[in-house]
Amino acid sequence: MHADKLYHRMLAQEALIEQAQAEGIPLPTSDPLFTTPARPAIIPQSSEQQRQQQQSSKSPQYEPPTDVEAILAKLTPRSRARLQEQLKGISSPVEREIEAKAFMAEVAATAQTMERLEMHRKEQDEGIKRRAEKGQSTFGDFITKTFRY
């Protein structure tokens, strides 16, 4: 329904534009479909004002994290070699840290998936075992047991 309303609104607007072009008058403007809240205007500051603001804030300087070594220590040798291979071309410590954390997230996701798969297999094995005890084994159970491992 909403799409129809928008489509007819677009057709009416195109008709108004064609009419304005034919008559040589300025093109009509349309109201925006989505309104955004008003944002405060950005007032450019002089370099002196910026310097004063930086001195008044007295925020500590950003130090790039050095946790890459800690992350490497947590990994298996095979994963450590893969991560070091990925980090070879990266020189910035910040980028290295981000890449290492992304790698750790991938490792964690893989481990979580493997845990779920293992739980699913155990449930499947229990079902196969129960059906076998009752004498109700299926052809699918035979195929699963034959080709699983």
Q: Encoding tokens for residue 86?
A: 């990925």
User: What average pLDDT does range 52-71 have in this prediction?
Assistant: 56
Residue 127 has a pLDDT of 92
Mean pLDDT of 11-38: 81
Cα–Cα dist 125/116, whole Å: 14
Q: Which residues are CB-contacts of 97 (< 8 A; sequence separation ≥ 6)? A: 64, 65, 66, 67, 68
Q: Which of 44-48, 58-62, 67-71, 126-130 has the highest mean pLDDT?
A: 126-130
pLDDT (average), residues 120-140: 91
Residue 10 pLDDT: 86
pTM listed for this prediction: 0.44
